[in-house]
Amino acid sequence: MLVEKNVPLQSSNTFGINAKALHLVRVKSEADIAAVMQDPALQAAPKFVLGGGSNIVLTGDVKPLVLKVEIMGKRLVQETVKAWIVEAGAGEDWHELVAWTLQNGYPGLENLALIPGTVGASPVQNIGAYGVELQDRFESLDAVDLTTGKTFTLIAAQCAFGYRDSVFKHASKPGEASGAQALGLKDKALITRVRFLLPKAWKPVLGYADIDKKRLQRKVDVPDALQIYEWVCEIRRAKLPDWKVIGNAGSFFKNPTVSPEQCEDIIQRDPKIVHYQLADGSVKLAAGWLIDACGWKGKSIGNAGVYDKQALVLVNRGGSANPVTGGEVMTLAKAIQTSVYERFGLRLEPEPVVV
Q: Angle CA(117)–CA(122)–CA(124) in degrees, nearest 5? A: 120
- The H or E element that residue 237 is part of is helix 225-239
φ/ψ bin of 295: left (φ > 0), alpha (ψ from -120 to 50), beta (otherwise): left
Q: Which is nearer to ligand EPU, 28 or 239 (CB)?
A: 239
- The H or E element that residue 157 is part of is helix 156-159
**CB 24 → ligand EPU: shortest distance, Å?**
25
**CB 120 → ligand EPU: shortest distance, Å?**
17
Closest by CA to 14, choosing from 213, 222, 244, is 244
346 binds ligand EPU (CB under 6 A): no
52 binds ligand EPU (CB under 6 A): no
- Give the Cα separation of 58 and 110 in Å (integer): 31
288 binds ligand EPU (CB under 6 A): yes
Range in contact with ligand EPU (rule: CB under 6 A) among 25-33, 193-201, 289-297, 340-348: 289-297
Q: Considering only residues 309-338, where is the footprint of ligand EPU by CB under 6 A?
A: 310-312
Q: Which is nearer to ligand EPU, 74 or 254 (CB)?
A: 254
Using DSSP's 3-state secondary structure scheme, residue 103 falls into helix
> Which entry of 164, 193, 195, 317 is annotated as an active-site residue?
164
Size of the residue set binding ligand EPU (CB under 6 A): 19
CA atoms within a 13 Å half-sphere pointing along the CA-CB vector of 93: 9
Q: Could you confirm whether 164 is annotated as catalytic?
A: yes
> Which entry of 26, 166, 251, 328 is annotated as an active-site residue?
251
Q: Considering only residues 233-262, where is the footprint of ligand EPU by CB under 6 A?
A: 239-240, 250-251, 254-255
DSSP letter for 323, please: P
Residue 80 main-chain phi, psi, to 5 deg: -115, 180
- Give the Cα separation of 23 and 2 in Å (integer): 10
Q: Which is nearer to ligand EPU, 55 or 192 (CB)?
A: 55
Using DSSP's 3-state secondary structure scheme, residue 66 falls into strand
Which of 74, 292, 327, 353 is in the footprint of ligand EPU by CB under 6 A? Answer: 292
Q: Could you confirm whether 269 is annotated as catalytic?
A: no
Active site residues: 164, 251, 351
* Binding residues for ligand EPU (CB under 6 A): 129-130, 210, 239-240, 250-251, 254-255, 274, 286, 288-289, 292, 297, 310-312, 351
